[in-house]
Amino acid sequence: MGCDGGTIPKRHELVKGPKKVEKVDKDAELVALWNYCALSQEILRRPIVACELGRLYNKDAVIEFLLDKSSEKALAKAASHIKNIKHVTELRLSDNPAWEGDKGNTKGDKHDDLQRARFICPVVGLEMNGRHRFCFLRCCGCVFSERALKEIRAEVCHTCGAAFQEEDVIVLNGSKADVDTLRSRMQEKRMRARVGKKTKKPKAAEAVSHPAAGEASEGPSGMNMGKPEASSLDPREKKVGPAPRSAASGSSSGKAGKPPCGATKRSIAQSEESEAYKSLFTTHSSAKRSKEESAHWVTHTSYCF
């Protein structure tokens, strides 16, 4: 088949050489990094958050990922280091006044300028399109260009005035070397947090055990100080014999044994309790009746009281 009619095949048509490596378009890569969420691959929209490795996400996509961590998601590796919402920071971005978006592109025939970005640096005015290095502060979430931080060196944020350190500066969409340094910093920080939690647990247990021991030691002395009448009793009254078997059997059947009347009268009358509490007992003066109020033994009925 073929080669008839005077056609002569060439070598490159017969011999297939190695495939050429496809080069990634840099412009398309920058657009994907700076305009689309790294987790859901949707267009970035406020509120926008960034992780400790400098990747950009939509906040609602991160919340959905944390609520449903299924292994079926193909892009779960991009956020595998995010364990809770505290591991991301909401960004304070400055809008670009020259960016129009899709306002004038109603017919679909307008040229999209990939160099135009939605956000800019509030200090220098550089556009956040990937051509310049940008970073954010983890303490407050403000976003600046790296040039602004180098030209205006300060230990305070240029926008909100919050103090920050070098560890709080995180590069957005950095190179592999930047991601490696940020990953090692993230692991060290989490290890320190775990060690701090472990040291706080034994301290909290000791703080709980010491007050309990103090209350147990002060309990008997407080009882003695609150009731001085126990020391004023006679030694004969202090020694109370064992309860008889009838009382023991009565308590087992549901009737508790009663203490001697003399001891209860004296302890209640001489105690420092309130008058309302003392009036509950029959030994109180309000419970006593005079001879005129009490009925005769012949005419005694339950209706007299």
Angle at 230 between CA 228 and CA 234, to 5 degrees: 125
Residue in the block written with tokens 């006593």: 288
pLDDT tens, the chain, 305 aa long? 555 667 788 887 888 878 777 787 888 888 888 999 998 889 999 999 999 999 999 999 999 988 886 655 556 777 888 989 999 999 999 999 888 776 666 666 666 666 778 899 999 899 998 889 999 999 999 999 999 988 888 888 888 888 988 889 999 999 999 999 999 999 999 999 888 888 877 766 666 666 555 554 454 444 444 444 444 444 444 444 444 444 444 444 444 445 554 444 455 666 777 777 777 777 767 666 666 666 555 555 555 54
Strands of the chain (E only): list them.
48-51, 56-58, 88-90, 94-95, 119-120, 134-137, 143-145, 169-171
**Residue 3's Cα: distance from chain center in Å?**
76
> How big is the chain, counted in residues?
305
What are the sequence ranges of the domains in the chain?
26-99+115-199
Q: Does 47 sit behind a cis peptide bond, omega within 30 degrees of 0 on the bond before it?
A: yes
Instruction: Quote the pTM value.
Output: 0.58
**Residue 192's Cα: distance from chain center in Å?**
17
**What single-letter amino acid sits at 263?**
A
CATH number of 26-99+115-199: 3.30.40.10
Contact 96, 117 (CB under 8 A): yes
Element (H, E) at 265: helix 261-269
Exposed, middle or buried: residue 128 (CB in 10 Å: 0-12, 13-18, 19+)?
buried
Dist. CA 254–CA 189, nearest whole Å: 64
For 64, the token pair is: 């959905």
240: nearest Cα among 267, 222, 218? 267
Contact 145, 133 (CB under 8 A): yes
For 135, the token pair is: 């970073």
Can you count the helices (H) and strands (E) in the chain? 10, 8
Beta bridge partners of 169: 137
Beta bridge partners of 143: 136
DSSP per residue, 58-113: EHHHHHHHHH---TT-TTGGGGTT--SGGGEEE-BPEEPTT--TTSS-SSS-SPP-
pLDDT tens, residue by residue, 16-72:
878 777 787 888 888 888 999 998 889 999 999 999 999 999 999 999 988 886 655
- How far is the CA of 301 from the CAs of 9, 182, 295, 296, 304, in angstroms? 137, 94, 8, 9, 6
Dist. CA 86–CA 197, nearest whole Å: 16
Dist. CA 116–CA 101, nearest whole Å: 9
